[in-house]
Amino acid sequence: MTKTISVNQAEFAVTDEGAGEAICFLHGFPLNRSMWQAQVDAFATSHRVIVPDLRGHGQSTVTQGTVTMRQMADDVVALLDALQITQPITLCGLSMGGYVAWELWRSHPDRLARLILCDTRAVADTEEVSRGRHMMAAQVVVNGSSMAADSMPSKLFAPDAESTQPEKLERVRQMILATDPEGIAATQRGMADRIDMTPQLPEITTKSLVICGTHDVISSPEEMRSFANAMPNATFVEIPKAGHLAPLECPDPTNAAIRQFLATS
Ligand code: MLT
């Protein structure tokens, strides 16, 4: 069921399905909660599955200016409170959702039973990447979301996806097109401000699963394996046919890895 929840001076659309221990999925940029449909279907039979549209995305409120990863993490905590989820949860974030998960670990480690980091990075932006984000933020409010919708999808998928899964590329293009340009801009500025998590990785004792698509060109398997190695309780899994959107491109092996992690940790 979709719930509309008001917290932190904003309204959030949240999928809340199933019962039992909670698992919460945080989408990537500039997508929305529908990217996790295969995980909702797979895990709502055994868990309470919570999937919000993060601030500025999907059907949630758009905030202008800069929306930091910390703000998004505070939103997620407020949503869990509103849903009366007090037991520690499994938190699964993809890319930007992973940046939010790091912040949630920093501010509320007690709320986390497990962490799943999909196709994400621990390092902060280089100056060049950060400049590029600010430039994109300025352009998207003038030119609209189609600018991102036309340029991004091919970089998010494995190289053969255009011929093997064209409908998923189109689905992602439509998700980006539906994202408010001000939401895209505010999130780009927030991601540019995020901190380098590398020094804190050895302190993350939470049981963790690190998942990466073999063809991910944004957060490469080498980079993700290396940060997983720096985390004391992390297991690294590669999804052979996927790019940057492993849970959406290859839901079966991704869900199998998550299911095994949930059963054994
Ligand atoms: C994402 O998929 O969320 C983005 O690649 C994150 C980013 O731009 O760093």
**The pLDDT of residue 59:** 98
Q: How far is the CA of 19 from the centre of ligand 1 (A)?
A: 30
Does the Cβ of 100 fall within 6 Å of ligand 1?
Answer: no
Q: Which of 66, 75, 54 is nearest to 9 (CA)?
A: 75
Instruction: Give residues with Cβ within 8 angstroms of 209, minimum separation 6.
Output: 114, 115, 116, 117, 234, 235, 237, 257, 258, 261, 265
Beta strand pairing call for 207-213 and 112-118:
parallel
Rounded to two decimals, the pTM is 0.98
**The pLDDT of residue 174:** 98
**The pLDDT of residue 146:** 96
Rounded distance between C-alpha atoms, residue 51 and residue 44, angstroms: 11
Place of tokens 């039979």: 45
**The pLDDT of residue 152:** 94
Check if the beta carbon of residue 18 is closer than 8 Å to that of residue 34: no
Could you list the mean pLDDT of each consecutive 10-residue stretch along the chain, which spans 265 residues?
Answer: 98 98 98 98 98 98 98 98 98 98 98 98 98 97 96 95 96 98 98 98 98 98 98 98 98 98 95
Instruction: Give residues with Cβ within 8 angstroms of 153, minimum separation 6.
Output: 169, 172, 173, 176
Does the Cβ of 99 fall within 6 Å of ligand 1?
Answer: no
Does the Cβ of 213 fall within 6 Å of ligand 1?
Answer: no
3-state secondary structure of 193: coil
Q: How far is the CA of 28 from the centre of ligand 1 (A)?
A: 6
Does the Cβ of 113 fall within 6 Å of ligand 1?
Answer: no
Residue 106 Cα to chain centre, angstroms:
16
Atom 9 of ligand 1, residue of closest alpha carbon: 96
